[in-house]
Structure 1
Amino acid sequence: MERSRQAAASRPSRFANVSPLDIIAVAKSADALGAQVLRMENLDTDLAPPAAALTATLDALTDLGWSSSYLPFTGKQCLREAVSDQIHARTGHRYDPDTEVVISSGGLAAVFAALLA
């Protein structure tokens, strides 16, 4: 067990020289070129969400089976199934939602967790 702890502790050092993308600089460069950029890093937008998103949010908040507790670590089952179905529709490949699909709260966190696995 001690060996696995040491291996896990050394994994982040592999990323010591990886610098994050400076998205603000990229957006400023795009602005300077006249591109239309929607700056969402501060959630500072006046765009209204689609009506379907508002309805789904309200439905989720009134579903006391989910809205009053933490979600499963791998994500909500119906969402994993929907992701599997969507990938199958697009690519023809079927992923098992129980063993091959995980829903995370952010892309970077998911990639980092996968790299550390």
Structure 2
Amino acid sequence: MARTSQPTRLPADIYDAAVAASAISSRSAAQQIAHWARIGRELEMSPQVNHRAINHVLVGAGSYDALSEQEQAVVRQEWTERATALRGELNYAAGFTAAGESYSELDADGSVVVHPARD
């Protein structure tokens, strides 16, 4: 009997990250998520990775330097994914506009563009 895909609900940030990563890795979003799941499965089964120590570092209760190289790689990947998700949520223009403040930025040519405060 052939196996079929089962529908699964994912958090939006995971799906969005998979879409972004899929463009780089030449996989579909579903293939990227499956790839990450396989990596996670292997890591959890690996005797060289202490998940409790990794979690302690991720919550700020442990030392990164005390981790093995493999564990540090897991932590760095998690930090990268968290930072990417946080950057994706930033909208400085909306924040400045809502606060009634002006702001400036560089355009594609490197020229300064000033956005005046709106009343």
Higher relative contact order (CA 8 A, sep 6+): 1
Per the normalisation by structure 1, the TM-score is 0.25
Quick check: which one's strand share is greater? 2
